[in-house]
Chains A and B, each alone.
Chain A
Amino acid sequence: MQTGDVTRFAWGALCGYPTRTLLMLLAMGIGVAAVVVLTSLGEGARRYVTGEFASLGTNLIIVIPGRSETAGISPTTMMGETPRDLTLDDARALTRSYSVRRIAPLNVGSADINWRGKQREVTVLGTTHEMLAIRHWELSQGKFLPATDLDLATPVCVIGSKIRNELFGAQRAIGEWVRLGDRRFRVIGIMGSEGRSIGVDVQETVMIPVASAQQLFNTPSLFRILVEAKSREAIEPVKQFIIDTLQQRHQGEKDVTVITQDAVLATFDRIFSALTYAVGGIAAISLIVAGILIMNVMLVAVSQRTSEIGLLKALGAAPRQIIVLFLSEALLLSGLGAALGLLLGELASMLLRQLFADLPAHAPAWAVVTALLVAILTGLLFSLLPARRAARLDAVLALSRR
């Protein structure tokens, strides 16, 4: 028997029972679509979170004052409780490594911003011009903080676009003087709309030079130091360099916590990957169910078409040929169902992407391939039994049944 003929015969048999075939295609399709949609959701969430972290900066190392007994992030490290402060001199010392590309000290506080009687409370970030490159931020207007010495308290500020809109409305903001707390600053730049990162909405912050912030908040200490390593490979040496340098500077006390963004990123990556595997696995159960349905349907087909099987035997079909015919039918059924499911699933994840623009809901390739393979394999596996039953039918008995 030729392959084309087998396919045509199986196709004819499927078309002969349209309701049954449609229902089976639907069962298989829903199974595959479930895997595709659920894994694309998981993958979308993973990509969303890792994307958010990547927007914090690449090859980033964060130095936090204070140290908890166990490594990692704990409430105390977040609060920054420490016997010794991180100072601008500490920050300056960290630039003395070849592997460090740039650093940005960071001071955070809140203050009232004031312009011609309009006032609101804002988050104030004290930092340097390096921050723009480290965080991959973009300006929409003007310039960022000037590249001056860290100690120089220049009275300039860069404001978020939301603050600009609220304070200045349609009026020109660049060049205007605003009051922050008890000091005056000249607006030299506006942040672009891109530039949102976890925890901080850049649009609602005001950035001033770090020395100005220290004066404004009357503190010599820093909230964080962000360090960007030259390459991914340099992250570990730089981390060690930071720990050693700061230990020397702090009279031998290891009183800082150094977090690499990679570690955080890897953790989230693992969590979301595990989540994706889990939901994919759960969805795959529906494929097995669909496989069992196929077995059921094929068993019914064998008893419905007993006389046809008898006839095929009388016409000279060997048992193998009968098995091949029924397996092809199941293969066609599960293959088409899988294709239908893939189509449905991709459409659904496209819809998800339309509805939630932030969520890159693409089903990962491994999930698609696995879903298709599992669908086709279960279809084949579960129709082996019915096909063998058909092949073993006694021709005389099969023909005598009407």
Chain B
Amino acid sequence: MISLEQIHRDFQVGDQVVHALDDINLDISAGEYVSIMGPSGSGKSTLLNLIGLLDRATAGHYLLNGEDVTTLSDVEQAATRNRRIGFVFQSFHLVPRLSAAGNVELPLILAGMPAAERKARVAQTLQALNLTDRAHHKPDQLSGGQRQRVAIARATVTEPAVVLADEPTGNLDHKSGGDVINILESLNQRGITLMVVTHDAEIGDRATRRIKMRDGRIESDTQADADR
């Protein structure tokens, strides 16, 4: 469902051109569980942002569900992001003045969904993540693990096909990090395509497909044993 063909992403830093992504070719089918690992500056976050339509490729083609999204306008890209893609960030990025429910509601508000329908969806999603009793708490009243669960609720409330997680456990302790990974994996078992960028080899190795990057190129792309 995700297909990258000869993707290049160059940054101009001073008078130097940095090749953040250098001729990436990648095919990911629906329902896969992919981890992207690599040292800092290897281009893994850039790759994730590009797949999430937050960034545009300098050259190459990106097909999402067979549709070339590289040529879409800003508005069309925003709509695609809203409907098909869910983001989970390292630093949660919750809006501090909104309650947990308010944060989860945001993508539905942006999509223009009527209030009644929204409330039902939000309640359902919060319940699935065991957050119902935290619905009216502000982010600063929640623990790190709870915050990331709210963020996951926000990423999944639109029922996207793909969830992109950028270092989802980076700001969490070991236990709540493990919980978050379990939740993400359960999403994947329900058929959502999951991509996780991580430093942590232990987390990366849980994925069924592991991509290692270095200097903007894919170094290795291995499929875990089918029996795992």
Tell whether B91 is near chain A: CB-to-CB under 8 Å.
yes
On chain A, the residues within 8 Å of B91 by CB distance are 402
How many angstroms from the CA of A5 to the CA of B54 in the assembled complex?
A: 24
How many angstroms from the CA of A317 to the CA of B106 in the assembled complex?
A: 10
Tell whether B142 is near chain A: CB-to-CB under 8 Å.
no
Q: A307, A310, A399: which has the most chain B beta carbons within 10 Å?
A: A399
Tell whether A93 is near chain B: CB-to-CB under 8 Å.
no
Contact between A312 and B114, CB atoms less than 8 A apart: no
Tell whether B43 is near chain A: CB-to-CB under 8 Å.
no
How many angstroms from the CA of A316 to the CA of B160 in the assembled complex?
A: 12
Contact between B87 and A314, CB atoms less than 8 A apart: yes
Tell whether A199 is near chain B: CB-to-CB under 8 Å.
no
Tell whether B190 is near chain A: CB-to-CB under 8 Å.
no
Judged by DSSP, the binding face of B is helix
Contact between B98 and A12, CB atoms less than 8 A apart: yes
How many angstroms from the CA of A399 to the CA of B90 in the assembled complex?
A: 10
Tell whether B3 is near chain A: CB-to-CB under 8 Å.
no
Interface residue ranges of B86-134 to A (CB < 8 Å): 87, 89, 91, 93, 95-98, 102, 106-107, 109-112, 114-115
Name the distance in Å between B56's Cβ and chain A's nearest Cβ: 10
Interface residue ranges of B34-83 to A (CB < 8 Å): 49, 52, 54-55, 74-75, 78-83
Contact between B49 and A316, CB atoms less than 8 A apart: no
Name the distance in Å between B210's Cβ and chain A's nearest Cβ: 24
Tell whether A289 is near chain B: CB-to-CB under 8 Å.
no
Contact between A315 and B106, CB atoms less than 8 A apart: yes
Contact between B55 and A12, CB atoms less than 8 A apart: no
Contact between A311 and B109, CB atoms less than 8 A apart: no
Contact between A16 and B96, CB atoms less than 8 A apart: yes
Contact between A311 and B95, CB atoms less than 8 A apart: yes
Q: Enumerate 7 A-B pairs (CB-CB under 8 Å) in ascending A order.
A: A12-B97, A310-B93, A314-B81, A316-B83, A319-B75, A321-B110, A399-B54
Q: What is the interface of chain B, defined by CB distance below 8 A to chain A? A: 49, 52, 54-55, 74-75, 78-83, 87, 89, 91, 93, 95-98, 102, 106-107, 109-112, 114-115, 154, 158
